[in-house]
Every structure is written in C-alpha cells, then in structure tokens.
Amino acid sequence: MEARELLECAATFGISDSSQGSSQFGDTLEIAVFPDQGGRGLGVARNVEQGEMILRVPFAALIGVHCAREDPEFGKVLVDFAHLSSVQILTAYLLSEVAKSCSSRWFSYLRHNPQVHHSLPHFSAMEAEELQVEDAISMAKSSLEDTQRQWRETSSLLSRLRLPRKFTTFKAWLWAAATISSRTLHVPWDDAGVLCPIGDLFNYDAPIERTMSSRNEDDELEFTNRLTDGGYETSISSYCFYARRSYKKGQQALICYGQYTNLELLEHYGFLLPDNPCDVIYIPLPSPEEFGLKSTGDKSERQHNLAAYCIEASGKPSFSLLQQLRLRAVPASLRKSHGYMASQGLPISRESDQLVFLWLQKKCQKLLEKLPTTIEQDERALEQLEKSTSSGSCGVERHKLAIKWRLGYKTILQRCLTYSKGESLGFE
C-alpha cells in the first residue's frame, strides 16, 4: 500500500527514473527495505553505471518556502512574519499541509513520512546523559532548547493559521522540525532547502572522494562542494540524482548528504554510521607547560580553528593537530628556525616527536578514564538492550544510539592510544 501510494505520487508529479527520458518511475529504482542500511530506501531495478542520472524530480513536486509564499491562505498570513527564518516557515508550512490531510497536493507523500525520529532534540535529559561525553550531552541539550525556541517564536504564526490544536503543540513541531532536518535537500534559492518526494528515500553513505588524513584544510571548501550526488538543475527545472558508483541490480543506491561526524548525524538525522570515515574527536591544544616549557605569550600558542585539531576515525591525529603539537613541543627558538618542518608534516626532532606521542597517549588515556564505563561494559549493555523485550521502543532505541555513539568515541580514543604508543616506542 505504502509503495503503491508513493508510486502514484511519483506518477502525479511526473517523477522519473527512466533511462529513455520518459516521465515514469520504476525503470531504474524500486522502493525496498534495507534493514542494515537505513531501512526503507531505493534499490536499483537494473544494473546502473557510475554517473548515470537515476532520478529526476520536477520543480512542481518540491515542497519549499516558495510553496508557502504562493499558498493563498498561508501566503496572506506570512507577510506579517517576515522576521521568521526559512526553516521556521517551512516547518510551519509542513504542519499546515499535514493538517489539510487528503486535500493536500502531497497527501500520498506526506502520509508515508516516518512518524518517529531519534535525532538529538528528541533525547530526554536522562537519555542525553547516556552519551557520557560533556560536549555531546551539551549538544543534545542545546539542540532541544533551540527547537523549543524556534517553536515559541513561530507560535503566533501557527495560531494565525488556525490549525487544529494537535498541529500547534511542541510535539507536532518537534516531529516537523526533525522531518525538515533529516529530509530536506539543498537548493540554491533558499536556506531551508526543499522536501523532495521519492528523492528523499535515498539513504546515506559517507563521502568517497578522499581519505580524511590526506586532506589539507586549504582545499576544504572544494572538498565539501563536491559532496553531493545530485542537485537542482535549472535547465530542466528538476532535482536530479546521479549514481555515485556502479550498482548491480538489487543493490541499494545511496547518496551522501554531506560530510558529518557521527554526533552530527545523530543531531540532524537520528542515526550513526558504523565506521564513519568522517568521525573525529576534537582535542584542545596543550599549553607549553604540558610539554615542560614556559609560555612566551606568543600568538602561536593561542587556540585557533579548533575544528581542525582532531583525532580522525583511524585513530591518527589530523594533519593540523600533529603540526600544532610538534610546534608546541619545542622551545620558541627552535619553533622559529625549524617550524617549517611541522608545516610540511615532518618531525622537528626525534625528542620532540617522542614528547608529542607520549602527550597524545596520556591525553587519550585520561579521556577514557574520565568516562564512567569501559568499551567492554558498553558492549555488554548493548547486547542486553538488543535482547530486551522492549527493544524497538523509542526509549530503548535512543538508549542504544547513545551507547553506540559513546562506544564509537571510545574506540577512536583507543585506536589513537595504540597508535601513539607504537609511534613513541619507535623512538626508544
């Protein structure tokens, strides 16, 4: 029934996956369930070559702020709310369309959108505590507060729209905000993006362009700009999707929504990617005292561009973190004369590199010891939850997500510890 109605929706809007260019759906893709990779998604119905266009969704099918402005009722009220952000307007518009039930143009699409989300704003304070790591707990708290603030700011618009009460509650807003956050696609004309029937059935895969450790911050922008497997094409007034690699019939076609750490995936999309190559742990840089040196007050000792100083999923320090540690582990005079070596990814001296890897080892050890449970305890807790009779309930699902996230965090620290130990032993 769900697949049939979604196919009807595709036909109504002229959504096409035809390799012959006709307006029909079912030639290249099929709606299927992939239990280990996102649940409902799009499989390929025939062998597909990398780079082939696999789906085309016409402009008329897209739900965005432009629809809210053009809607006679909504648009009339909206003129008094110019201060609201695009995301707030789109969230309110989604609620107003859902409230229209079968008289909405998008009824057959909207009624099959997931009803339950597990993104961070849905985490209760107790569920957030299970993340164990301070930064992650505070991210959960602030994403909930932000959703509450957005709802309060939009409440007058919601009441002017005279929606039935159940569509104006915080619970309804939380659902709509999570739908927008997890399903919208980027368009050049509006920050909120658009909901794209059928196109939003693609599940996520991590970027495949390059490994993180070979990345240089200078070409970060170019890197992130290429992280899309589709986009809006003005020449044919459609959102188009392309195969990121070749697929054999029956395989799931995936797209990359962007470059995200697992905490960011949890925040915006409510899932985690096992072995996410983009996962990182941010590390505050050490003071000179931590390397037994005196502070000179030099500006190079200050923290800047914090996001670049991280341990990567492989357990290795990022290029920038290693560079900064190498600069900080030597006296100011040596930093001045030989600092260029660190910028080239080279050790300044054997002794200073040994200090660097010992520092990293201790840092990881300390971070691991600060957490209330070990990797082994988390693995056991997860096993028990999998067996629990209430497995599948929202509370248990979020609990499992929290444990899986902190397990991923600890695994990266453990990998870094092992790596640093190996590197520092190499100096003995």
Ligand X SMILES: C[S@@+](CC[C@H](N)C(=O)[O-])C[C@H]1O[C@@H](n2cnc3c(N)ncnc32)[C@H](O)[C@@H]1O
Binding-site ranges for ligand X (CB under 6 A): 37-41, 114, 182-183, 200-201, 203-204, 269-271, 273
How many helices (H) and strands (E) would you count in the chain?
15, 11
Residue 16 β-bridge partners: 56
| Residue 108 Cβ vs ligand X, minimum distance, rounded to whole Å | 14
Distance (Å) of CA 275 to CA 63, 199, 205, 356, 406: 33, 25, 11, 26, 13
Return d(Cα 341, Cα 338) in angstroms, integer.
6
Rounded to a whole number of angstroms, the minimum distance from the CB of residue 369 to ligand X is 31
- For residue 257, the minimal CB distance to ligand X (Å) is 7
DSSP H helices, 291-393, are 319-328, 332-343, 350-370, 375-387
Query: Integer distance in angstroms from the first to the last C-alpha of the chain?
Result: 67
Shortest gap between Cβ of 423 and ligand X (angstroms)? 33
Residue 101 CB, nearest approach to ligand X (Å): 20
Structure tokens at 27: 């030639």
Instruction: For the CB of residue 340, give the shortest distance to ligand X in the complex, in Å.
Output: 42
> In terms of CB distance, is 41 or 288 closer to ligand X?
41
DSSP for residue 373 = S
Contact 307, 283 (CB under 8 A): no
Nearest to 148 by CA among 169, 128, 125: 169
Distance CA 159, CA 286 (A): 52
- Distance (Å, whole) CA 415 – CA 412: 5
Rounded-to-integer distance, Cα 49 and Cα 249, Å: 11
What are the tokens at 46? 């025939």
Closest CB to ligand X among residues 240, 358: 240
CB of 46 to ligand X, least distance (A): 21
| Closest approach of ligand X to the CB of residue 314, in Å | 20
Query: Of the two residues 32 and 308, which places its CB atom closer to ligand X in the complex?
Result: 32
Q: Half-sphere exposure of 303 toward its Cβ, with a 13 Å CA cutoff?
A: 11
CB of 337 to ligand X, least distance (A): 49
**What is the C-alpha separation between 94 and 155, in angstroms, rounded?**
14
**Joined tokens for residue 24:** 């029909």
In the complex with ligand X, which residue's Cβ is closer, 372 or 392? 392
Count other Cβ atoms within 10 Å, centred on residue 207. Answer: 20
CB of 310 closer than 8 Å to CB of 325: no
